[in-house]
Structure 1
Amino acid sequence: MRLLILGGTRFLGRALATDAVGRGWQVTAFHRGVSGAPPAGVTAVHGDRTQPGDLAPLADRAWDAVIDTWDGPPQVVARSSAVLEPACGRYVHVSSRSVYRDLSTQGLTELSPLVSADVDSFGAYKAAAEHVVRATYGDRALIARPGLVLGPHEQPERLVWWLRRLARSGEVPVPGPPELGLQCIDVRDLACWLLDAAHANLGGAYNVVSRPGHTTMGALLSACAEASGSRARLRWVPPAAVLAAGVRPWSDLPIWVPQDSDVRGLHETDAERAHATGLRCRPVEQTVADTWAWLTTTAGPLAAEGLGPRLEAMM
């Protein structure tokens, strides 16, 4: 397989490149050269896809598949997909479950209504990008809609935030209940499915994530404490008290989405279509342990957002 990754140096792009090289594929990463080099065995081509003309040389080569992880304005995806169409067998666009119109709905499927294109939001950007890829490639378009992606080289930091907080030990107020179900996917499992799907010439849209209830808030935090060797004492706080303190789910407290949230569908999505094609999700304990191992060996501190000491004290 001749694979072109638009990116290839960070998080999902890095996982894709590593896996594809391990399969013996010919892998090229097109990137700006500002966030490090791609993994060994990958041919790097430097350029900026937002600049007209930078992608043109890649259109002179033949690619069995192109994988695009862009999450900005859809015009950039429109340009890239159009330029590469004559040279590309299959265009894989990594979208998001944020494209769904009503994220409070549990059991969202690939046929659920999408957000309107005239809305100024991340989900609208992704929905518009999906539309242009489908219009350009038809049956050769593969749309992957993951959600909460965790694992080594994580960006943005979500699991990493919890690992760092529990590693500091002490009493840690955490949002309840511990049995609250979480739906997520290890970045390496996502990369594996994307490559398998591209090789199998799959098309259409897929929710690429674990089944609902893959893990729980309690199991995730217990795994974080064990991996980091933490002696933290978890103090479970009722959701109403967390919200009353002005804490924002997902942003102030990464990963956590209370049961009655208007985006609870992000942890309750139907993913059977992808699982029927071979998607497999490793235990969250393995993801947590591997992420901690990477975190403790990575060069330099990583910026972590989330709940600060002031809000934590109010919980």
Structure 2
Amino acid sequence: MKLLILGGTAFLGHAVATEAVSRGHDVTCVARGESGQVPAGAGLVVADRDRDDALANVAEQHWDAAVDVARQPGHVRRAGRDLSRAAEHLVFVSTGNVYADTKTPGLDESAALLDPLADDSYTDMQAYGPGKVACEQAVLEAFGPKRCTIARAGLIGGPGDTSGRSGYWPWRFAHPSTPGGQILIPAASEIPAQVIDVRDLARWLVDCAEQRLDGAFNAAGERTTLTQVLEVARRVAGFAAEVVAAENDWLLSEGVSEWAGPKSLPLWLTDPDWRGFCDRNISAAQAGGLRLRPIEDTMRGALAYEESRAKSHPRAAGLSDADERNLLEAYAANVIRATQQRRDD
């Protein structure tokens, strides 16, 4: 198969290119070349998709399939314009953020979508979901529903996850910040969690390209809970010391962020209106060939990646050692005060 990948130098795009090359496909990646190298065996066309003519050269060739991981609607509209005749099939990586309902668990692909973004580009991540809806519409308009796969990816984790969302917990359990080895976790952790391994998603996307699978699919991990993810992370790290489970209200009052980013507890969500966000029905994708490895393998891969970059890169998510130590001290003092107050009462 002659495969065009719009991307191919970072995380998912690189994993897709690696998988395709391993199967013996003729792979060409289109990227600026600033995020890394394409895998050995793949070709690279250097291009900036902000330019109107970025795909002019590859549009002159014939492709059995193309894979696009773009998030900017303008990029996807121009790709549709330039590649709809050049490529037989398009696999577009969308996101579960396109859905309007983030509360109801177990929704499938028939759930209502957000209104599409009207603009060609955005910088505010609040527009991410509407932007991807606009991208999906552009794909369908250019290729038609029988010539495209729309993969609505969930949280992607495993090796290469620079966001730190899948890597923080196994890394933290492997590297406690205190001499006593305590780890701070959220007490209310029976919330849904879905993490799909980047290698599983990449493998399935190449399958979709080979088979020209049409339709929209929720491409997410097995439906589980944060409690179970934390237990797996503990086992993978070989952690046997104490966990300190702090209540939601206290963590929020101390400025701890949810989900991702600096001073956060990754994958933690407190708002019940977001309980469906990581609890999507994936039966259609599984019927279409999506196979998922055990979450232990994903945690091991994420931990190995975190260990490989520990000294050279700051983490994008989680608590720093200093933040966790300060929070553990503050929480211990809070428990002492509460205990004293009950005695006084």
Fold agreement, TM-score > 0.5: yes
CA 1:307–1:151 in structure 2 vs 1: closer, same or farther (change >3 Å)? closer
From 125, 128, 139, the counterpart of 2:131: 125
| 1:265 pairs with 2:279 | no
- 8 Å CA contact retained: 1:30, 1:47: yes
Q: Percent identity between the aligned chains?
A: 37
User: How many residues are aligned here?
Assistant: 311
Give the whole-Å Cα distance in 2 for the aligned partners of 1:211 and 1:168: 27
Deviation at 1:245, TM superposition (A): 3.8
- Asked if 1:45 corresponds to 2:54, the answer is no
1:211 touches 1:272 (CA, 8 Å); kept in 2? no
Aligned to 1:282: 293
Quote how far apart the aligned CAs of 1:246 are. Answer: 4.0
Aligned partner of 1:27 in structure 2 is 27
- CA distance in 2 between partners of 1:176 and 1:194 (Å): 37
- What does 1:98-109 align with in structure 2 at a 5 Å threshold? 98-109=97-108
| Equivalent AA in structure 1 for residue 104 of structure 2 | T
Q: How far off is 1:84 after superposition?
A: 1.2
CA distance in 2: counterparts of 1:197 and 1:230, whole angstroms:
39
Unaligned runs of 5+ in 2: 119-125, 332-345
Structure 1 residue ranges without an equivalent (≥5): none
Q: Distance in 2 between matches of 1:52 and 1:292?
A: 40
Alpha-carbon shift at residue 301 of structure 1 (Å): 2.2
TM-score, length-normalised on structure 2? 0.83
Q: Tell me the equivalent position of 1:254.
A: 266
Q: Shift of the alpha carbon at 1:206? A: 0.2
Structure 2 CA distance, aligned partners of 1:299 and 1:254? 18
Residue 227 in structure 1 maps to residue 272 in structure 2: no
SS of residue in 2 equivalent to 1:75: helix
- Match for residue 157 of structure 1 among 164, 185, 190: 164
Normalising by structure 1, what TM-score?
A: 0.91
> What letter is aligned with 1:191?
A
Contact 1:183 1:212 in 2 (8 A): yes
Structure 1 vs Structure 2 CA RMSD: 2.2
Distance 2:93 2:314 in 1: 25
**What displacement does 1:261 show?**
2.6
Aligned to 1:113: 112
Query: Which deviates more, 240-249 or 32-41?
Result: 240-249
1:303 corresponds to 2:314: yes
Give yes or no for contact 1:168–1:230 (8 Å, CA) kept in 2: no
Q: Offset of 1:218 from its aligned partner?
A: 3.2
| Aligned position for 1:142 | 149
**Can you list the C-alpha shifts for 1:199-245, whole angstroms capped at 9, x where unaligned?**
111111000112322xx323322333343454552222333443444
Secondary structure in 2 aligned to 1:269?
A: coil
Q: Is the 8 A contact 2:97 2:128 kept in 1?
A: yes
Q: String of CA shifts for 1:115-147, please: whole Å, max 9, x gaps.
A: 112595110000110011011111212100011
Moved more, 171-180 or 84-93: 171-180
Distance change in 2, residues 1:107/1:220 (3 Å): closer
Match of 1:95 in 2: 94
Are the counterparts in 1 of residues 196 and 220 from structure 2 also a CA contact under 8 Å? yes
Structure with bigger gyration radius? 2
Distance between the aligned counterparts of 2:43 and 2:160, measured in 1?
20
SS across alignment from 1:53: coil
Residue-by-residue CA offset, 1:30-63 (whole Å, 9 max, x unaligned): 1111122111111111111111212100011111
Distance 1:9 1:191 in 2: 13
